[in-house]
Chains A and B, each alone.
Chain A
Amino acid sequence: MAALILDPLAALGRATLAACRTIGDVTLFALEAVSHLVRPPFYGRLFWRAFVEIAWFSLPVVALTAVFTGMVLALQSYTGFARFNAQSTIASVVVISLTRELGPVLAALMVAGRIGASFAAEIGTMRVTDQIDALTTLSTNPMKYLVAPRLLAAVIALPLLVLVADVLGVMGGWLIGTYKLGFVSAAYLKSTFDYLEADDVISGLVKAAVFGFVIALMGTWCGYRSKGGAQGVGGATTTAVVTSSILILALDYVLTEAFFAQ
């Protein structure tokens, strides 16, 4: 009888302790990685390689997502707002939604799928094939060599991607607004920029930088801690994408609250 009550409690306790250990480990991992960003040697070549991988090679998927999101947003807003004769606000709704929210979140989710998985798989494979131990024996700190350049690259690349996503998303909305919904092009654009404020864009870019950090952190951490061969690397990749996606959505709320709560 006692076991019936105590066993679930013990399981809950074990899960709680495991969660605390994981959070602590990720935090220490992040602090160590950040500390390597300000201590030489610096690996500019690796930073650049990671930056190109994130910013340039993620551009097509982020651009397509942004364009279609802008188009859908314009169409949905039109059909919804028509009920209240508020169609004239569509341009501002599109631009504010994109810059504050959809641009950073959707771009980050796309990059999490592409780059988070890639980081976890690459570093995880290095872990299970002793390449990370080999780095240590070759007078190279693995955190400095593998993690720090990727973190920095993601923090810089994500805002740039989001900036592009914002522009393309607005263009998507403009396309639908002018060619399908019959808005006058100049009026649509004027409405777009009249209601757009610098804070809308800046908050989106700050979110993007935070999301970039989270994506790179979870990708590298999951890869770095992976074990058990191919299955372990597969698990690390899945965990990296799932956890970074959830963290992106959770942090999006926290940051929105911080920026815009009255």
Chain B
Amino acid sequence: MSDMLQQAPRAAGTASAVPKIRLRGLRKAFGAKQVLDGVDADVAAGHSLVILGGSGSGKSVTIKCILGLVQPDEGSIEVDGRDVLAMSRREREALGDRIGMLFQNGALFDSLPVWENVCFKLLAQKRITRAKARDKAAEVLAQVGLAGSVGDLSPAELSGGMQKRVALARAIAAQPDIIFFDEPTTGLDPIMGAVIDGLIVDCVKRLGATAVSITHDMASARRIGDTAAMLHKGRIVWTGPAGALGHTGNALVDQFANGEREGPIQMELRR
């Protein structure tokens, strides 16, 4: 499975022997519910992995474990060959400085204008002064197709699509080398979804970053992923090229990708 995940690179020439991200035996339970039950995955540098799975299958928890927002019960997480769980707080913070994250609902800070949201990390790391942050925000907003004047608006004044773009701008502003995307097209119309996907692909390419996305949207998965992995009952049950989704020969994946009611995945419905 690891080998498959390192195939089909979008950003060629950046792959190395040590994967950018390596997960081994990741387990996490919340009370009696075992959400992750031994997740193994490798993501090569410069590649884009899309994790698929039904609601509650543990996709978000997997990402949160890598980000350090959730502590796994067992297993290891390596970034650039270094065990993240064994890192000191300072090392962990330094790693966090290299990571960007696009949250499902944007998670923009209501109390701050757009320009401050976009440059939040740069300001927090003192890599930029407040005086220069507006210009920098305008520059990054332009990369996601927004006018600089949007910077003075409050997040509440933006449409859903604009909020996603601003969230994307915030995720890439500090030029991270790893970016996570949590359901980037959820709640958007198909055209806006395609626009956001295009921006994600452009931004990831431009930065030469490694990307991990989770989504239910098959069209989005095919557009943004080099490789797809299917998470089912807390384990990765299939990995392969994102372009093959829908005709993989794996009954679980094909049922999920084609949105079929009948198949090995049974929804727990009470009648």
A interface list, Cβ under 8 A from B: 122, 125-126, 129-131, 133-134, 136-140
A137 close to B96 (CB less than 8 A): yes
Across the interface, A139 reaches (CB within 8 A) one of B105, B110, B124, namely B124
**A133/B69 in contact, CB under 8 A:** yes
CA of A140 to CA of B96 in the docked complex: distance in angstroms?
10
- Are A130 and B104 in touch, CB under 8 angstroms? yes
Let me know if A140 and B107 touch, CB within 8 A.
no
Q: Which B226-265 residues have a C-beta within 8 angstroms of A?
A: none
Q: Is the CB of A134 within 8 A of B124?
A: no
Please list the 5 inter-chain residue pairs (A to B) with the smallest Cβ-Cβ separation, ordered nearest first: A134-B107, A130-B107, A137-B101, A138-B121, A130-B103
Which chain B residues lie closer than 8 Å to A138 at the CB level?
120-121, 124, 170
Question: In the complex, which residues of chain B have a beta carbon less than 8 angstroms from the beta carbon of A126?
Answer: 109
CB-CB nearest in chain B for A43 = B124
Are the C-beta atoms of A140 and B120 separated by less than 8 Å?
Answer: yes
CB-CB nearest in chain B for A49: B111
B125 CB–A CB distance under 8 Å: yes
Let me know if B150 is at the binding interface, CB within 8 A: no
CA separation between A126 and B108, bound complex, in Å? Answer: 9
Contact B107 A129 (CB under 8 A): yes
User: Are B103 and A139 interface neighbours, CB within 8 A?
Assistant: no
B40 within 8 A of A: no
| Contact residues in A for B41 (Cβ distance below 8 Å) | none
Q: Taking the complex as formed, is B58 at the interface, i.e. its CB lies under 8 A from any CB of chain A?
A: no
Across the interface, B96 reaches (CB within 8 A) one of A125, A129, A131, A139, namely A139
In whole angstroms, how far apart are the Cα atoms of A133 and B97 in the complex?
14
B101 with A129: CB separation less than 8 A: no
The answer to whether B125 touches A139 (Cβ under 8 A) is yes
B162 at the interface (CB under 8 A from A): no
B8 to chain A minimum Cβ distance, whole angstroms, is 27
**Complex Cα gap A140–B126 (Å):** 11
Please name the residue on chain B nearest to A136 by beta carbon.
Answer: B69
Distance of B95 from chain A, by nearest CB (Å)? 10
List 15 A–B pairs whose Cβ atoms lie within 8 Å, in order of A's numbering: A125-B110, A129-B105, A133-B64, A133-B67, A134-B108, A136-B67, A136-B69, A136-B96, A137-B99, A137-B100, A137-B101, A139-B96, A139-B97, A139-B125, A140-B124
B157 at the interface (CB under 8 A from A): no
**New contact pairs (4) apart from A130-B103, A139-B121, A140-B121, CB-CB < 8 Å:** A131-B107, A136-B68, A136-B69, A139-B125
Q: Which of B103, B111, B124, B125 contacts A133 (CB 8 A)?
A: B103
Q: Which residues of B contact A122 (CB under 8 A)?
A: 111
Of A131, A134, A137, most buried by chain B (CB within 10 Å of CB) is A137
Q: Which residues of A contact B103 (CB under 8 A)?
A: 130, 133-134
Residues of A within 8 A of B68 (CB): 136
In the complex, chain A residues whose CB is within 8 Å of the CB of B73? none
Query: CB distance B93 to A139 under 8 Å?
Result: yes
CA distance A89 to B124 in the complex (A): 58
A138 to B124, CA, bound (A): 8
Nearest A-chain residue to B104, judged by Cβ: A130
Q: Which of A134, A136, A137, A139 contacts B109 (CB under 8 A)?
A: A134
The smallest beta-carbon distance between A139 and chain B, in angstroms, is: 5
Write the nearest CB–CB distance from A127 to chain B, whole angstroms: 11
Given contacts A136-B69, A137-B67, A138-B120, contact A131 B97 (CB under 8 A): no
Give Cα A130 to B163, complex, Å: 14
Q: How far is the CA of A138 from the CA of B167 in the complex (A)?
A: 12
How close is B166's CB to chain A, nearest CB, in angstroms? Answer: 12
Question: Which chain B residue shows the least CB distance to A122?
Answer: B111
Residue in A126, A134, A140 whose Cβ sees the most chain B Cβ within 10 Å: A134
Q: Which residues of A contact B111 (CB under 8 A)?
A: 122
* Shortest beta-carbon distance from A49 to chain B in Å: 9
Q: Which residue of A lies closest to B120 (CB)?
A: A138
- Please state if A131 and B109 are interface contacts (CB–CB under 8 Å): yes
Taking the closest CB of chain B, its distance from the CB of A149, in whole angstroms, is: 13
